[in-house]
Amino acid sequence: MTPSRDVPDQAADFDLSTMTGHLLRSCQQIHVAIWSEVFPGGLTSPQFAILHALAQQGPLTQTALRSKVRLDRSTTADVVRRLVARRLVSQVKDPEDARRRVVRLTAAGRALYLESTTRAVKVNEAMLAGLDEEQRTQLLTLLGCLLERHKGLLDYRED
Answer whether residue 3 shows pLDDT above 60.
no
- Looking at every residue in the chain, the average pLDDT score rounds to 89
Output the pLDDT for position 6.
Answer: 58
Q: How far apart, in whole angstroms, are the C-alpha atoms of residue 82 and residue 70?
A: 18
Tell me the pLDDT tens digit for each residue of 122-140: 999 999 999 999 999 999 9
Output the pLDDT for position 10.
Answer: 67
pTM for the full predicted model: 0.84
Q: Which of 139, 73, 86 is nearest to 112 (CA)?
A: 86
Tell me the pLDDT tens digit for each residue of 81-129: 999 999 999 999 888 888 888 999 999 999 999 999 999 999 999 999 9
* DSSP designation for 47: H
Q: How far apart, in whole angstroms, are the C-alpha atoms of residue 134 and residue 105?
A: 36
Q: Which pLDDT band, with edges at 50, 70 and 90, does 5 fall under?
A: low
Q: Which pLDDT band, with edges at 50, 70 and 90, does 9 fall under?
A: low
Q: How far apart, in whole angstroms, are the C-alpha atoms of residue 94 and residue 60?
A: 10
Tell me the pLDDT tens digit for each residue of 54-70: 999 999 999 899 999 99
Q: Give backbone dihedrals phi and psi of 148, rounded to 5 degrees, phi first.
A: -65, -40
